[in-house]
């Protein structure tokens, strides 16, 4: 039912776009994003779901019937569509008829068996398309980084088979040699460490990178258990964050910054750690604003937006931020300010510029914006809470103002500000601010 509804919606929107005068090569722009929002999915997955729906409804009726009657699940229907994507519509229909999943041809088959059957049938019908698809796949090679549990990450490389085998063989040989020489690390540990050292050229892989690790002052200085946040990765334990930022006695606080020396937990290499103080409003956790009259966001404001948003602000999208966007367009009078700025991935920023899409700032416990789609639906996006701020917008006990309740009047705010300023030479604090 979702597949049929998606195809009908796509046809309706394309017709409406054509009637409004949109060029033919832009018809369908933004449709997948609307489907993604309606299904509470990321925009990228919305595009894949729409493509799956169109293939099933228009070209693979046997697979659609098998899905409807429960003979195959959605993932295996996706595999059949994916493995026939290089074929023409007529050849794809022929493969669908040959496999005929709706009459039990694939009963009991696992994922690999289904992939093999679809590839065999596709190659039999159009071998040139299958070969050309393999050649074009080389252009899709890339490296990606995804968060893993326990402050780990998945570094993944999509490579041609020859290159992938060569890399794995080189790492394996080196690991076997070191194990034979008495290295106590496991084979997998040696391969992982060797990969990092070969690519970065340094032991432990630390080569002057910047990590925007965000935590409360209580977590850093007082051993508080409030977790920290690492943009691009997510929430990390407080103890691990403190290990990364071990303070040294020699601090340079003249510029409102401090440089400390820490130790790498595995190779005992000194790290240069810079602390940049961000100030948040009490209770809400809202970062204090800074404005600019320029169209482009200045570097300081970009860092603020990056720290506040973390990932793309389109609902259900958690892709990395690539564009820093004016919520209300600059040419329409939108200011270059923290309140009118948001971080978006490249795809969502292009979608937002499509006809019928617009956004506007909204009041909320933290930075909030509302996105309107061409069909009249609205979706709100609220910035994620910074460490030390609960989801509801109130500060957890023990994290604000050294563990006491936040002050409620201006005199108390100024008093707290003076105390904090005296305790941190060279620092400054706006009234009502909380160090983060």
93 vs 268, which has greater pLDDT? 93
pLDDT tens-digit map of 94-142: 999 999 888 888 888 899 999 999 999 998 888 888 888 888 888 889 9
388 vs 360, which has greater pLDDT? 360
C-beta of residue 51 within 8 angstroms of C-beta of residue 43: no
Q: CA angle at residue 343 from 243 to 233, to 5 degrees?
A: 30
d(CA 379, CA 372): 7
Query: Which range (3-17, 44-58, 152-166, 230-244) has the least confidence?
Result: 230-244
Predicted pLDDT at 284: 64
Confidence check: pLDDT of 294 > 60? no
Q: 3-class SS at 273? A: strand
Confidence check: pLDDT of 249 > 70? no
Q: 3-class SS at 247? A: coil
Query: Which range (162-171, 207-216, 280-289, 415-424) has the least confidence?
Result: 415-424
Please, which residues have CB within 8 angstroms of residue 56's CB and are 6 or more apart in sequence? Answer: 3, 63, 64, 67, 77, 81
CA atoms within 13 A on the CB side of 181: 8
pLDDT tens-digit map of 68-78: 999 999 999 99
d(CA 18, CA 27): 7
Q: 3-class SS at 147? A: strand
d(CA 73, CA 96): 16
d(CA 348, CA 30): 9
Backbone angles phi, psi at 394, to 5 degrees: -105, 145
Report how far apart, in Å, the C-alpha atoms of 44 and of each of 30, 36, 79, 183, 316 are: 11, 8, 17, 44, 10
Q: Whole-prediction pTM value? A: 0.64
Predicted pLDDT at 246: 66
Predicted pLDDT at 167: 94
d(CA 216, CA 20): 51
Confidence check: pLDDT of 64 > 90? yes
Q: What's the farthest any 2 CA atoms get from each other in the chain?
A: 81
As a whole number, the mean pLDDT across the chain is 79
d(CA 49, CA 74): 10
283 vs 164, which has greater pLDDT? 164
Chain centroid, CA 285 distance in Å: 22
Confidence check: pLDDT of 351 > 60? yes
Structure tokens at 72: 């195959």
C-beta of residue 157 within 8 angstroms of C-beta of residue 169: no
d(CA 163, CA 28): 38
Question: DSSP code of 434?
Answer: E
pLDDT tens-digit map of 201-233: 776 655 556 667 777 778 877 888 888 887 767
Backbone angles phi, psi at 96, to 5 degrees: -60, -40
Predicted pLDDT at 259: 31
Predicted pLDDT at 39: 94
d(CA 199, CA 207): 11
Predicted pLDDT at 61: 94
Structure tokens at 106: 């694939």
For helices 74-83 and 111-125, angle between their N-to-C axes, nearest 10 degrees: 30
Confidence check: pLDDT of 430 > 90? no
d(CA 381, CA 251): 39
Predicted pLDDT at 270: 53
Predicted pLDDT at 77: 94
424 vs 388, which has greater pLDDT? 388
Residue 151 confidence class, pLDDT cut points 50, 70, 90: confident
Residue 46 confidence class, pLDDT cut points 50, 70, 90: very high
d(CA 25, CA 40): 27
């Amino acid at each position: 039912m979702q597949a049929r509804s998606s195809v009908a919606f796509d046809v309706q929107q394309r017709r409406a776009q054509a009637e409004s005068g949109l060029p033919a090569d832009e018809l369908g722009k933004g449709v997948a994003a609307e489907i993604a929002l309606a299904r509470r999915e990321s925009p990228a997955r919305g595009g894949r779901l729409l493509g799956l729906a169109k293939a099933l409804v228009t070209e693979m009726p046997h697979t659609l019937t098998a899905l409807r009657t429960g003979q195959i699940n959605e993932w295996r229907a996706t595999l059949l569509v994916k493995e026939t994507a290089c074929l023409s519509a007529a050849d794809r229909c022929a493969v669908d008829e040959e496999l005929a999943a709706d009459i039990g041809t694939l009963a009991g088959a696992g994922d690999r068996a289904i992939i093999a059957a679809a590839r065999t049938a596709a190659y039999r019908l159009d071998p040139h398309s299958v070969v050309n698809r393999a050649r074009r796949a080389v252009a899709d090679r890339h490296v990606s980084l995804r968060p893993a549990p326990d402050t780990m990450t998945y570094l993944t490389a999509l490579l041609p088979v020859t290159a992938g085998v060569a890399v794995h063989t080189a790492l394996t040989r080196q690991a076997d040699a070191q194990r034979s020489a008495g290295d106590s690390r496991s084979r997998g540990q040696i391969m992982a460490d060797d990969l990092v050292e070969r690519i970065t050229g340094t032991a432990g892989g630390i080569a002057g990178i910047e990590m925007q690790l965000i935590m409360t002052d209580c977590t850093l200085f007082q051993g508080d258990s409030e977790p920290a946040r690492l943009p691009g990765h997510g929430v990390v334990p407080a103890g691990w964050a403190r290990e990364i930022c071990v303070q040294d006695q020699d601090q340079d606080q003249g510029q409102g910054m401090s440089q400390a020396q820490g130790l790498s937990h595995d190779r005992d290499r000194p790290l240069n750690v810079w602390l940049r103080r961000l100030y948040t409003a009490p209770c809400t956790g809202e970062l204090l604003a800074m404005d600019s009259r320029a169209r482009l966001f200045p570097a300081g404001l970009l860092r603020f937006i990056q720290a506040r948003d973390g990932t793309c602000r389109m609902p259900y999208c958690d892709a990395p931020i690539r564009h820093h966007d004016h919520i209300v367009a600059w040419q329409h009078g939108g200011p270059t300010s923290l309140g009118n700025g948001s971080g978006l991935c490249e795809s969502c920023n292009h979608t937002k510029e499509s006809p019928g899409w617009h956004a506007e700032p909204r009041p909320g416990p933290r930075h909030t914006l509302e996105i309107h789609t061409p069909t009249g639906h609205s979706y709100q996006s609220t910035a994620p809470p910074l460490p030390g701020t609960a989801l509801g917008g109130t500060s957890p006990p023990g994290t604000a103002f050294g563990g006491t309740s936040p002050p409620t009047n201006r005199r108390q705010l100024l008093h707290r500000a003076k105390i904090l300023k005296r305790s941190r030479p060279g620092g400054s604090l706006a009234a009502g601010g909380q160090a983060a």
